[in-house]
Structure 1
Amino acid sequence: MKKTVLSLLSAAFAVSAIASCSTDDDNVIANPNTYVLVHGAWQAPYVWDAVKSDLTSKGNKVVVVELPAHGADKTPAHQVSLDVYSDKVIEAISKVNGKVILVGHSMGGMVVTSVAEKIPQKISRLVYIGAFVPTSGQSLGELSMGDPDSKLGPQLSQSDDKLTLDVKRDQLTYLFINDGSQGAKDQVLANYRAEPAIPFGNKVTLTNANFGSVEKVYIKTLQDIVITPGFQDKMIAAAGIKKVYQVNTSHSPFLAQPRAVSDLLLQIGQETGVKQ
Structure 2
Amino acid sequence: MKTSVSLLLSAAVALSSLSSCAKEDEIPAATSATYVLVHGAWQAPYVWDAVRSDLIISGQKVLVVELPGHGADKTPPHTLTLDTYRDKVIEAMSKVDGKVVLVGHSMGGMVITNVAEKVPTKISRLVYIGAFLPASGQALTDLAFSDPDSKLGPALVPSADQLMLDVKREELTALFINDGSQAEKDRVIANYRAEPAIPFTNKVTLTKENFGAVEKVYIKTLQDVVISPSLQDRMIAGAGIKTIYQVNTSHSPFLAQPRAVSDLLLKIGKGINVVP
TM-score w.r.t. the length of structure 2 is 0.88
Q: Deviations over 1:133-160 (max 9, x none)?
A: 0000000111111111100000001000
Q: Which residue of 1 aligns with 2:180?
A: 180
> Number of matched residues?
246
Matched residues in 1 for 2:79 and 2:193: separation?
A: 16
Tell me, what secondary structure is at the counterpart of 2:270? helix
Say which is worse superposed, 137-146 or 116-125, in terms of deviation: 137-146
Q: CA deviation at 1:238?
A: 0.2
C-alpha contact (below 8 Å) 1:124/1:214 kept by paired residues: yes
Matched ranges for 1:139-154 at <5 A? 139-154=139-154
- 59-68 vs 264-273, greater mean Cα deviation: 264-273
Tell me the SS of whatever aligns to 2:203: coil
Would you identify which runs of 4 or more consecutive aligned residues in structure 1 move more than 4 Å? none
| Counterpart residue type for residue 218 of structure 1 | Y
User: SS of the residue aligned with 1:209?
Assistant: coil
1:161-204 Cα deviation digits (max 9, x unpaired): 11000000000000000000000000000000000000011000
* Partners of 1:119 and 1:266 in 2: CA distance: 23
CA RMSD of aligned residues (A): 1.3
> Helix, strand or coil for the counterpart of 1:192?
coil
Contact 1:132 1:140 in 2 (8 A): yes
Q: Work out whether residues 43 and 193 of structure 1, in 8 Å CA contact, stay in contact via their aligned partners in 2.
A: yes
**Conserved in 2, the CA contact under 8 Å of 1:124 and 1:272?**
no
Aligned-pair CA distance for 1:252: 0.1
Partner Cα distance (1:109, 1:272) in 2? 22
Alignment partners' CA distance in 2, 1:167 and 1:157: 6
2:33 corresponds to: 33
Alpha-carbon offset, residue 91 of structure 1: 0.2
The yes-or-no answer on 1:134 pairing with 2:145 is: no
Q: Distance in 2 between matches of 1:95 and 1:135?
A: 29
Query: Is 1:84 aligned to 2:72, yes or no?
Result: no
One-letter amino acid of the structure 2 residue matched with residue 204 of structure 1:
V
User: Could you tell me whether the CA contact under 8 Å between 1:125 and 1:272 is conserved in 2?
Assistant: no
Question: Does the CA-based 8 Å contact 1:35-1:63 persist in structure 2?
Answer: yes
Match for residue 217 of structure 1? Answer: 217
* Contact 1:137–1:205 (CA under 8 A) maintained in structure 2: yes
Q: In the alignment, residue 98 of structure 1 is paired with which amino acid?
A: G
Look up the SS of the partner of 2:185 in the other structure. Answer: helix
Give ranges in structure 2 of 5+ residues lacking alignment.
Answer: 1-28
Quote the Cα distance in structure 2 between the aligned partners of 1:212 and 1:250. 29
Please tell me the residue identity of whatever aligns with 1:80. Answer: L
Q: Is the 8 A contact 1:177 1:251 kept in 2?
A: yes
Structure 1 residues 272 and 212: alpha-carbon distance in aligned structure 2, compared to 1, 3 A threshold? farther
- 1:214 and 1:80 map into 2 onto residues whose CA distance is 26
Cα distance in structure 2, aligned partners of 1:97 and 1:269: 16
Per the TM alignment, residue 30 of structure 1 is displaced from its structure 2 partner at its CA by: 1.2
Instruction: Point out where structure 1 has 5 or more consecutive residues left out of the alignment.
Output: 1-28
In the other structure, the counterpart of 1:228 is 228
Deviation of the 1:34 alpha carbon: 0.1
Q: Deviations over 1:98-121 (max 9, x none)?
A: 000000000000000000000000
CA distance in 2, matches of 1:146, 1:127: 22
The 2-side partners of 1:99 and 1:244 are apart by 21
Contact 1:139-1:201 within 8 A present in 2 as well:
yes
TM-score, normalised to structure 1, is 0.88
1:272 CA drift (Å): 6.9
CA distance in 2, matches of 1:220, 1:142: 20
Matches within 5 A, 1:251-266: 251-266=251-266
Q: Match of 2:101?
A: 101
Q: 1:106 to 1:67 in 2, by over 3 A?
A: same
Number of the residue aligned with 1:45: 45
Question: In structure 2, the residue corresponding to 1:138 is in which secondary structure?
Answer: coil
Distance in 2 of aligned mates of 1:249 and 1:166: 23
CA distance in 2, matches of 1:147, 1:186: 28
